[in-house]
Amino acid sequence: RKEVEQDPGPFNVPEGATVAFNCTYSNSASQSFFWYRQDCRKEPKLLMSVYSSGNEDGRFTAQLNRASQYISLLIRDSKLSDSATYLCVVATTDSWGKLQFGAGTQVVVTP
Amino acid sequence: GAVVSQHPSWVICKSGTSVKIECRSLDFQATTMFWYRQFPKQSLMLMATSNEGSKATYEQGVEKDKFLINHASLTLSTLTVTSAHPEDSSFYICSARLTSGETQYFGPGTRLLVL
């Protein structure tokens, strides 16, 4: 079983619509959670950290459910520029802060 | 945010040659750097964790004699793919972690194609 699992998609989303997707993680001792964005053939870029109480950054809302071991990302009012692969990332308790990456969820925003 | 550079951005080489990839943190000191590999449509897979001044820690299944890592300073880590083979063709990405906190900043990646 993979440590971090995501629906690969693609999620085809009309411009202006809302899209949401989850990611599950297997290590119950995981401490830190992130969403990264990766554009085609580029490096991942941090989109937002995910806090226990849930957090919002503009049109992006992230939630953490420790009991069920999943995190979610919701994108409101989707823009064409939101088209990308969204990587769910979980940090282990290792003191070096090793990150475990999901394979990503592809989002395609269409006009 | 912090800037991490990688060089070269892409390389094509013949099978059997060695390729060195540099990862530099440009505006901060990185005690720890990480090396990842990503095959098409797959997740980033951590290859090794590199701490300045000490030997790298390799993930299970990654050959340390094939992927040589040197972290000689707080701003530079190098990955050398020795005797590269076509199956080593991949997207190699480094990241650097600030000395405090867990935020990792990624380099732009190096595409390696071994013919």
Give the model's pLDDT for residue B1: 64
- With a cut of 70, which residues of chain A have pLDDT below it? 1, 93-97
Give the model's pLDDT for residue A97: 67
Point out which residues pair with B5 in neighbouring strands: B24
CA dihedral sign of residues A9, A64, A74, A34? negative
Residue B98 pLDDT greater than 80, yes or no: no
Give the model's pLDDT for residue B45: 92
Q: Is B34 close to A98, i.e. CB distance below 8 A?
A: yes
Prior bond to A14 cis, omega within 30? Answer: no
Q: Most B CBs within 10 Å: which of A98, A100, A106, as the mutation test of the B interface?
A: A98
Q: Is A46 close to B42, i.e. CB distance below 8 A?
A: no
Give the model's pLDDT for residue A3: 87
Give the model's pLDDT for residue A96: 56
Alpha-carbon gap, residue A19 to B111, rounded angstroms: 31
Give the model's pLDDT for residue B87: 95
Give the model's pLDDT for residue B14: 95
Q: Is B102 close to A97, i.e. CB distance below 8 A?
A: yes
Closest CA–CA distance from residue B95 to any residue of chain A (Å): 10
Give the model's pLDDT for residue B63: 94
CA dihedral sign of residues B83, B86, B11, A41? negative
How does the average pLDDT of chain B come out, rounded?
91
Give the mean pLDDT of B79-102.
88
Q: What is the DSSP string of B67-108?
A: EEEEEEETTEEEEEE-S--GGG-EEEEEEEEESSSS-EEE--
Phi, psi of A11 (to 5 degrees): -95, 115
Give the model's pLDDT for residue A99: 84
Percent of chain B scored above 90 by pLDDT? 72
Among candidates B43, B49, B106 on the partner chain, residue whose Cβ is nearest the Cβ of A43: B106
- Percentages helix, strand, coil for chain B, rounded to the nearest 5? 5, 55, 45
Alpha-carbon gap, residue B74 to B109, rounded angstroms: 19
Residues of B in contact with A39 (CB under 8 A): none
Point out which residues pair with A60 in neighbouring strands: A57, A75
pLDDT tens digits, residue range B31-87? 889 999 999 888 899 999 988 888 899 999 999 999 999 988 889 999 999 999 999
Give the model's pLDDT for residue B4: 93
Give the model's pLDDT for residue A6: 95
Other CB atoms within 10 A of residue B98 CB: 17
Point out which residues pair with A72 in neighbouring strands: A22, A63
Give the mean pLDDT of B82-104.
86
Alpha-carbon gap, residue A41 to A51, rounded angstroms: 29
Give the model's pLDDT for residue B40: 85
